[in-house]
């Protein structure tokens, strides 16, 4: 039986290379160390950071940033960042993919609401008085006040800068 041909979409890989954090996908050697520490992978078979990286290496744009992509199941815990022996920083590749999905307008609809909340209050969810009461009952300290003016400034500066033009410190 003839072997199935694997076609790599280098055009999509180039696109990913240009987004902050995206180009580290090139260093993945598929060892699975990130999977071993990933809480999302433990929770569901639909999410696996090694598979995300494999798809990135193959340039599978549709599977990664199309509708219903599993990238949104990542919890942003950064455990994979600590564990990866190749300095791939899988979480940052995933964030780069999320930015591409936002550009393509395939991000989940509720994301816009979360972003709005962050811009207005500095928090992704509304903290009601009931939440504060519960925190008190549990002996937790009061939540810190968010410096909204500073946040607004950061968001304005961020908006003025295109995601593809941002670089991590030390990146060429």
How far apart are alpha carbons 48 and 142 in whole angstroms? 36
- Among 53, 60, 64, 65, indicate the residue that binds ligand SF4 (CB under 6 A): 53
Q: Which of residues 1-30 bind ligand SF4 (CB under 6 A)?
A: 28-30
Choices 5-13, 69-77, 113-121, 147-155 (CB under 6 A): range interacting with ligand SF4: 69-77
Query: Taking a C-beta distance cutoff of 8 angstroms, is the pair 30, 56 a contact?
Result: no
Residue 136 binds ligand SF4, judged by CB under 6 A = no
Any long-range contacts for 120-129 (C-beta under 8 Å, 24+ apart)?
121/146, 121/148, 122/146, 122/147, 122/148, 122/151
The Cα–Cα gap between 54 and 48 comes to 10
**Which one, 59 or 90, has the nearer CB to ligand SF4?**
90
Which residues of the chain form contacts with ligand SF4 (CB under 6 A)? 28-34, 37-40, 49-50, 53, 74-80, 84, 86, 88, 90-91, 94
């Amino acid at each position: 039986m003839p072997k199935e041909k694997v076609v790599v979409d280098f055009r999509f890989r180039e696109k990913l290379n240009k987004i902050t954090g995206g180009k580290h996908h090139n260093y993945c050697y598929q060892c699975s160390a990130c999977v071993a520490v990933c809480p999302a992978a433990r929770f569901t078979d639909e999410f696996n950071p090694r598979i995300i990286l494999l798809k990135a290496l193959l340039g599978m744009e549709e599977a990664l940033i199309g509708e219903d992509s599993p990238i949104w199941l990542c919890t942003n815990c950064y455990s994979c960042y600590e564990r990866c022996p190749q300095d791939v920083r899988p979480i940052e590749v995933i964030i780069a993919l999320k930015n591409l999905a936002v550009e393509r307008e395939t991000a989940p609809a509720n994301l816009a609401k979360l972003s709005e909340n962050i811009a207005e209050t500095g928090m992704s969810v509304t903290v009601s008085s009931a939440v504060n009461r519960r925190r008190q009952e549990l002996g937790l300290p009061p939540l810190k006040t968010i410096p909204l003016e500073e946040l607004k400034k950061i968001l304005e500066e961020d908006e003025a800068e295109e995601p593809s033009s941002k670089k991590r410190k030390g990146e060429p």
